[in-house]
Amino acid sequence: MNRNLNNQEVACLLQAIAAAYEVKNSNRFKIIAYDRAATAVENATSEVKDLWDDGKLRTLPGIGASIAQHLDELFRTGKVKHFNRLIKGLPPAMFEFLSISGIGAKTAYKLCQELEIKRAKTALVELEKAAKKGKIALLEGFGEKSQTDILEAILDFKKGRIKKKRMPLSYADAVAQDIIVYLKKSPATLKIDPLGSLKRRVATVGDIDIAVATKKPTEVVSWFVAYPKKKKLIEKGPTGASILLKGGCQVDLRVQKPEAYGSMLQYFIGSKHHNIHLREFALKKGLSLSEHGIKKGKKLKEYATEEQFYHDLGLPWIPPEIREDTGEIEVAQKGELPNLVKTSDIKGDFHLHSNYPLEPSHDEGKNSMEEMAMKAIELGYEYIGFSEHNPSLSHHSEKQIIDLVKRKNGAVEQLKSSCNKITLLNGLEVDIRPNGQLAFPEKGFDLLDYVVASIHSSFKMNKKEMTRRVLAGLEHPKVKILGHPTGRKLGQREGYELNWEKVFAFCKKADIWLEINAWPDRLDLPDVLVREAVKNGVKMVINTDSHALSQMGLMPYGVSVARRGWAEKSDIINTLSWLKLNARLKRT
DNA sequence: GCCGTTTTCGGCCCGACTGTTTTCAGTCG
């Protein structure tokens, strides 16, 4: 076994152990414990192997003394004797079946035994064959229906292997918005809200869930399933319906009477872990929670609003963005919830690409500086900075580069004289080259108000090298912002790894701001690192990285990332007025 | 096996759905 297991692999192993215990009818809480440990690992914000390196395994909630010891053995020796003993005698094929929707540990084991399927490698093929031959329906406890269900689930799984993508939040927003507008046209619709990860503003969304409050549920459901962009009806019932859209994404609708709308919102906004924790919390007060409301004994109380629901648990309303069970319930209990930053707090944007011809090696913007300045005024900003990519090094001499920037400066000055409603800054987005040098001549820096330093090449360096490269780039006193700090592109690439402890320490000391890039494919810094930055007292700046006017309106996506990272107004530099910000722009 | 501002022992989230059942076990979100 490989000792350098990633989180997904460790989670998978723990899941298998849970399944093994389940088949052996062990203490059910032990099964739950392994199951929870698996989820904890899967959702961990750092690699578990790294945590082990630092002796911090136990900091993951759900990993206790026993499992930590097993994982220690795993990372040291590549195997866990106790696990091996446990799995010995169980057919390897059963663990393959666990990936099939509708098959749990018990069913997986039974299928292996009855159908004599043992080898993991051919397990799914054999199961599919058995189903097609009608062998499953003959087994005790199975029937025709479960046989076709299994067959369908196998086909789904095979499809899912090729394509099971979550969509970017911005795409989900657009789809949801269209449906919301449509649903509002029904006179039976009283209230309407997005649910799930869409409402919590997670960077990517699986299915789109929407709630409607109504006194005429069947009317709303019928209206919904007649949505013109529907491709296929998946299911329809008295409490909701699911449809598949032509674009391929699934939309679930849930309807509820207005009196119980609040508890339903709370339940379906999630997250699952937030809700589980909240139910445990309630249980200690003798209350039982569900999507229907709060039960005390046998008496159920319904809730029209989420605020009332949380209030009756003795908690303030918790913003959906932080309902991830990462301490929000404890903090809410103490009355110390953060006052999260809002889009209306934002007073400027430091990362804009105009079409000024700086002859860069990366892409230019589509609109003029003037157009962008007008748009910024419309957005109510006090200041913006133009930060086009640096002129390409390979195609220009040092003098040519400086001349280009001087000319742009002139253009900015001219614009300033005709536009006094907003402060205009002369920035530049400069590549940090693989050796850590900035891709801009030293003599040119005096011409700039600030630099956004970013990585745009050689993404594959290891953590140590990349950290050295980034820190070297940040050394320069003109650098104020580290642009899209992890380099991730959602659904395309993971981004590089950095030693964040070092980066945070450096940024804090030098008052360098980490960018939260609002571009929907980036959303970089990611929310979990925003949280770390906040804890470390590192300031951030939310920028749109706009290459066109319309993109300047994407700021809310950056703000939601900041909110998911528990950032308050004071953590975000571009909430400052120009007066206060001006003083901080100069490095000391 | 995990965990603790009512607990280091004694608890451990809730309800719906489904299929194959005569009262429920397994799975899911």
Read out DSSP for A443-456? GGGGG-SEEEEE--
Which position has the higher pLDDT, A384 or A3?
A384
Q: Comparing A72-76, A188-192, A442-446, A495-499, which segment has the lowest mean pLDDT?
A: A495-499
- Please, which positions of strand B sit below 7 A from a protein CB? 1-3, 6-7, 11-21, 25-29
Which position has the higher pLDDT, A570 or A101?
A570
What's the CA A103/C1' B27 distance, rounded, in angstroms? 7
- Give the helix/strand (H/E) hosting A160: helix A144-162
Mean pLDDT computed over A436-462 = 93
CA distances for A564 relative to A192, A410, A523, angstroms? 23, 40, 11
Mean pLDDT computed over A119-142 = 91
Mean pLDDT computed over A245-249 = 81
What whole-number distance in Å separates Cα of residue A230 and Cα of residue A209? 15
| pLDDT tens track for A422-435 | 999 999 999 999 99
For residue A439, the number of C-alpha atoms closer than 13 Å in the C-beta half-sphere is 25
Judged by C1' against the alpha carbon of A102, the nearest nucleotide is B27
Query: Is A316's CB less than 7 Å from nucleic acid strand B?
Result: no
What's the CA A81/C1' B10 distance, rounded, in angstroms? 30
Judged by C1' against the alpha carbon of A61, the nearest nucleotide is B2
Confidence band, pLDDT 50/70/90 cuts, at residue A158: confident
Strand A513-517 to A540-543 pairing: parallel
Confidence band, pLDDT 50/70/90 cuts, at residue A5: confident
What whole-number distance in Å separates Cα of residue A527 and Cα of residue A536? 14
Find all residues with CB under 8 Å of A28, minimum gap 6, and list them.
Answer: none
Positions 198-237 in A, CB within 7 angstroms of strand B: 237
Judged by C1' against the alpha carbon of A68, the nearest nucleotide is B1
Query: Is A59's CB less than 7 Å from nucleic acid strand B?
Result: no
Burial of A551 (0-12, 13-18, 19+ CB in 10 A): buried
What's the CA A61/C1' B3 distance, rounded, in angstroms? 9
Mean pLDDT computed over A373-379 = 97
Question: Can you give the pLDDT at residue A106?
Answer: 93
What's the CA A86/C1' B10 distance, rounded, in angstroms? 26
Positions 66-125 in A, CB within 7 angstroms of strand B: 66-68, 100-108
Cα torsion for A201, A206, A211, A216, to the nearest 10°?
A: 160
Find all residues with CB under 8 Å of A294, minimum gap 6, and list them.
Answer: A263, A282, A287, A288, A300, A301, A303, A309, A312, A313
Question: Can you give the pLDDT at residue A232?
Answer: 84
Burial of A278 (0-12, 13-18, 19+ CB in 10 A): buried
Mean pLDDT computed over A306-333 = 94
Q: Which residue lies nearest B21, CA-to-C1' measured?
A: A141
Cα torsion for A461, A465, A469, A475, to the nearest 10°?
A: 160
What's the CA A141/C1' B2 distance, rounded, in angstroms? 34
Query: Is A145's CB less than 7 Å from nucleic acid strand B?
Result: yes
Tokens encoding A509: 């000391």
Q: Are A154 and A101 in contact (CB under 8 A)?
A: no
| pLDDT tens track for A58-81 | 888 889 999 999 999 999 999 999
Q: pLDDT averaged over chain A?
A: 92
| Buried-state track A435-466, b at ≥16 Cβ within 10 A, e below 16 | ebbbbbbeebbeebbbbbbbbbeeeebeeeeb
Judged by C1' against the alpha carbon of A330, the nearest nucleotide is B5
Judged by C1' against the alpha carbon of A285, the nearest nucleotide is B6
Query: Is A61's CB less than 7 Å from nucleic acid strand B?
Result: yes
Mean pLDDT computed over A309-335 = 93
Question: Can you give the pLDDT at residue A164?
Answer: 55
What's the CA A230/C1' B29 distance, rounded, in angstroms? 24
Q: Is the pLDDT of residue A415 over 90?
A: yes
| pLDDT tens track for A479-506 | 999 999 999 998 778 788 899 999 999 9
Give the residue among A195, A214, A190, A217 at the shortest CA–CA distance from A205.
Answer: A195
Confidence band, pLDDT 50/70/90 cuts, at residue A50: confident
Judged by C1' against the alpha carbon of A34, the nearest nucleotide is B1
Question: Can you give the pLDDT at residue A462?
Answer: 86
Q: Which residue pairs, CB below 8 angstroms and at least 24 apart, start in A150-154?
A: A150/A100, A150/A102, A150/A103, A153/A100, A153/A101, A153/A102, A153/A103, A154/A100, A154/A124, A154/A127, A154/A128
Question: Can you give the pLDDT at residue A588?
Answer: 55
Max Cα separation, chain A? 85
Q: Is the pLDDT of residue A475 over 50?
A: yes
Hey, which residues does A432 pair with through a beta bridge? A438
Q: Is the pLDDT of residue A474 over 50?
A: yes
Question: Can you give the pLDDT at residue A309?
Answer: 96
Confidence band, pLDDT 50/70/90 cuts, at residue A155: confident
Mean pLDDT computed over A376-404 = 93
Question: Can you give the pLDDT at residue A162?
Answer: 47
Q: DSSP class of residue A484?
A: S
Q: Are A252 and A208 in contact (CB under 8 A)?
A: yes
pTM, rounded to two decimals:
0.87
Mean pLDDT computed over A324-338 = 92
Judged by C1' against the alpha carbon of A60, the nearest nucleotide is B2
Question: Can you give the pLDDT at residue A516?
Answer: 98
Tokens encoding A162: 């090729």
Question: Can you give the pLDDT at residue A101?
Answer: 85
Q: Which residue lies nearest B15, CA-to-C1' measured?
A: A290
Question: Can you give the pLDDT at residue A124?
Answer: 92
Question: Can you give the pLDDT at residue A161?
Answer: 59
Question: Can you give the pLDDT at residue A166?
Answer: 81
